[in-house]
Amino acid sequence: MKTVPFDEALTRYEPVIGLEVHVELGTQSKMFCSCSTNFGAAPNTQVCPVCLALPGAMPVANRAAIESIIRIGLALNCSIAEWCRMARKNYFYPDMPKDYQISQYDEPICTDGYLDVTVDGKVIRVEIERVHMEEDTGKLTHSGGATGRIHGADYSVVDYNRAGIPLVEIVTKTVVGTGALAPAVARTYVAELRDLMRALGVSDVKMEEGSLRCDANLSLNRPGDPWGTRTETKNVNSLRSVERAVRFEIERQAAVLDDGGRVHQETRHFQEGDGTTAPGRSKEQAEDYRYFPEPDLVPIAPSREWVEKLRLTLPELPSVRRARLAEAWAIGEFEMATLVNAGILDIVEETVAAGVAPDAARKWWSGEFTRAASERGVEPADLPVTSADIARVEELIASGALNDKLARQVFEAVLAGEGSPDEVVAARGLAVVSDDGPLLEAIDAALAEQPDVAEKIRSGKLQAAGAIVGAVMKTTRGQADAGRVRELLLERLGVEG
Amino acid sequence: MSLIRDNASVLASAIAEGEVSSEEVTRAHLDRIAAVDERVHAFLHVDSDGAIAAAKRVDAKRAAGEKLGPLAGVPLALKDVLAMKGQPTTAGSKILEGWIPPYDAAVVERLRAADIIILGKTNMDEFAMGSSTEHSAYGPTHNPWDLDRIPGGSGGGSAAALAAFEAPLAIGTDTGGSIRQPAAVTATVGVKPTYGAVPRYGLIALASSLDQVGPCARNVLDTALLHAAIAGHDARDSTSINAPVPDVVAAALNADVRGMKVGLVRELSGAGYQAGVQQRFDEAVAILTELGAEVIEVSCPHFEYALAAYYLILPSECSSNLARFDGMRYGLRVGDDGSRSVEEVMALTREAGFGPEVKRRIMIGTYALSSGYYDAYYGQAQKVRTLITRDFTEAFEKVDVLISPTAPTTAFKIGEKVDDPVAMYLNDIATIPVNLAGNCAMSLPIGLAPEDGLPVGLQIMAPPMGDDRLYRAGAAVEAALVDRWGHLLIEEAPAL
């Protein structure tokens, strides 16, 4: 596929982006029935007459889902409709049991909001057109065939566990004037939304499990010209992919336009492997979804009192919180982004609240525990170690009872289920040797083994002391306080420290 | 007593008193079905074993001294559009042939809870689309008054089962008249309750905003008892009304219309109504006046657009409601030989599984909802619906109930209108406005048309949640007629 280098493309064209993000809500039950929404259950075990669309079954809206979408709308500064209806979107597809999706059409529950994102120190306001409620489809798996799609497959199987899970669609207005920042704006917007959903507690927003999905719309136009024809790129399953997909479409569409060609209005699929986009199945004619108000459901008419009550439950916005914590912990934007991307901001904050110094809390969580979590394939916060454990270990370090190396051993044991830090210290005998007697013995032995080093130190080359201290630490299996060993060594040799 | 001719309330008290067992009553009806249903074809499926087992449970309860409900042990015919666990449920369509529901409709649960014995599933126009039961994929039902004639539709099976004394109680559904018009042409009683009064959960939807489940019987009191057994809120139907059910049984027992204001709808009589229908209707008006009601004429000017609006709204909703019959999860599947795409299998299944009237309405509805046509058809029809509702509201500011003939003609011959959809649709001209507005209405027999000796029905209409008014007025008219004739009109039906 022909492309134009990104920077060059931007010398001739202005990108216009638009993003549609689907968020699966983390409600206990589905949107229109009481089936569980747990991820990963055996296929077709979380189904009932309603979500299988058996003849006669009827939907009933999930109040918790309506509550969640109103909170999302409020957090995105939207107006909340006083009265709106669900609508049927009609089309035949085997992953959709009713052959229509219950969604919203011209009466979305939330409209006209915005979300500010910061890219390269610049605040960009992304305007939100609408936030509406709908239900997810089942999941098709195609076997055989080259494309992994339904056409050409030998057979396909469908799992309706996902059918009817509440889905919120957040649609931006077109975002113009971002120029070369367009890919980063797209990525940052999705990241910001993800953090917002997490802060609201409405979804686990795991892109890899599909609980947050993004479609990226992009068009190019020459400066001063009307907007160009847009493409919609689907299958964008990570933050990195959002950025790459927008970037690639800029490079591809620029090449098409440079050649005097026309960009086709189409759906494209992002290819994780090479970072390109490929056209989806072209539709012979435009889909006509024949939307009409869902007659099986009563209108949604949230009272103003309810909306205001929900407004009071809004958490601090992620951007505000990040700024507050960065200041309190004296860290920069980059360090903060590292914590956010690793998904450990909450747990670090909790650890600091337990009395641990911010630097230490960050160090343990982004180092030791992130590594342990990735080895075990769990989230850091789900490790069997508590903020209280970390606070206790830090206390032991501060009192000199543990050093850094021993502390790591303590945590290894805690993670292995050997008990609390105090229990591990007692059981393994992990304590800094604080009795000078054994230390002096070890120092004398080391000096006897390395007389040349002893001579150097005596002659004032203090940096040579490290070799003796190292040897002592080795013989005491790390349980000595290196500072104390150095003091004793210099004393022994009659040298001023 | 006659186990098959007596009314439900009489049978229920006989069972409660131990004069007869529910099993005996049930077996008598199963025998009657075996004797006459070959000619009537009211039933698509008879659940003899289930019915007898249920009857035995009622008898055991009685023997154990448990308190029984007012209709306990009495048999009932269930329209085949309601899901019943473990029993075939086809909605009169080939596309659902062989499907066995794994769950009970809300109404079926209530019937079971009331210890009513479900004899089986009754015939109907496919997916309740029709006014004659000729559109059933399983062959027409015959009117017990004249086996060459239609029993009305779509619930012709339920009405015929009552008129043929195959069951003393029946459940119907009414989207545009499917309870009332069959009641009218078979000399039985049928009520379309207020929209939302009876839960629809488990009712195979035709048009969700119009469909309503309702009670059918041979007299007003039995209908009221059945109404009370099935009405009331159910959380599984979000359109179900969460408010106390009007006391319809008390109303049926209080057959007094003195001081009641009755509105005669000018637009629902006269031209287009069969002479004998009009004559009996005029007599019913006279009876109401004699009984002390004040009858005045009222105008509902937008009713003339009701049929047109209905035939846009109903097909639009049904085109979507019937989409799920795609051969993927249940029922018929055609063309799945490994060589065809999923779309082809869906299309072949629907081509083979749906009858011509169903296809006609799906196509009309698909068209009416299409982009570019929506405003002119569906949108405009909804505006007409609002105007019709307003007509009713204004009329009910002046009167307590409205009346009209239920259907413009008596039962027509099988085959007479089946090829003329519009002539068929006109049968529901008087019943449709009620569905569009969500009101309630009753049809009850008021005599035989002199020219053909066939039953004529009176329609009584009341505002939403005014269902009790139907029973009060209906019981008064019924009592006056029984006084005059010495029996219910149904007793004059020819022997089968």
The interface pTM score, or ipTM, of the predicted complex is 0.96
Phi, psi of B283 (to 5 degrees): -65, -40
Strands A231-236 and A267-271: parallel
Q: Chain B contact for A52, CB < 8 A?
A: yes
SS3 B265: strand
Give phi and psi for B411, each to the nearest 5: -60, 130
Q: Are A99 and B326 an interchain contact pair (Cβ–Cβ within 8 Å)?
A: yes
| CB contact at 8 A, A391 and A402 | no
Average pLDDT over chain A reads 91
Q: How confident is the model at residue A495 (pLDDT cuts 50, 70, 90)?
A: confident
Kindly list the domain boundaries of chain B, sorted by start residue.
8-301+385-492
> Between residues A378 and B414, which one has the greater pLDDT?
B414
**Cβ neighbours for B476, distance < 8 A, ≥ 6 positions apart:** B255, B256, B257, B288, B291, B293
Whole-number percent of chain A with pLDDT over 70: 97
Q: pLDDT digits over A348-374, tens only?
A: 999 999 999 999 999 999 988 999 988
Lowest model confidence (mean pLDDT) among A176-185, A325-334, B45-54, B179-188:
A325-334
Query: Is B79 part of the annotated catalytic residue set?
Result: yes
Contacts of A60 in chain B (CB under 8 A): 235-238
Verify whether residue B61 is a known catalytic residue: no
Cis amide bond preceding B154, omega within 30: yes
CA distance B377 to chain A (A): 12
Rounded average pLDDT over A406-434: 85
The strand ranges marked E within B255-407 are 261-265, 294-298, 401-405
Nearest to residue B58, comparing CAs of B5, B122, B11, B123? B11
Provide CATH code, domain B8-301+385-492: 3.90.1300.10
For A244-278, write each residue's pLDDT tens digit: 999 999 999 999 999 999 999 999 999 988 999 99
Q: What is the pLDDT of residue A310?
A: 97
Is residue B2 part of the annotated active site? The answer reads no
Report yes or no: A187 at the B interface, CB cutoff 8 Å. no
Query: Residue A484 pLDDT more than 90?
Result: no
Catalytic residue among B9, B79, B136, B240: B79
Give whichever of A204-218, A331-345, A396-410, B161-175 has the largest mean pLDDT: B161-175
A400 neighbors A434 (Cβ within 8 angstroms): yes
CA B173 to chain A, closest CA, distance in angstroms equals 13
Element housing B460 (H / E):
strand B455-462
pLDDT, position A285: 57
Whole-angstrom distance, CA of residue B170 vs CA of residue A78: 52
Interface contact A290-B319, CB threshold 8 A: yes
pLDDT value for A497 = 61
User: DSSP state, B102?
Assistant: S
Measured between alpha carbons, how far is B487 from B496 in angstroms, rounded to an integer? 19
Best B93, B321, B325, B362 residue to mutate vs chain A (most A CBs within 10 Å): B321
Contacts of B198 in chain A (CB under 8 A): none
Rounded to 5 degrees, what are φ and ψ at B320? -85, -45
Q: Which domains does chain A have, with CATH numbers?
A: 6-310 (no CATH), 436-493 (1.10.10.410)
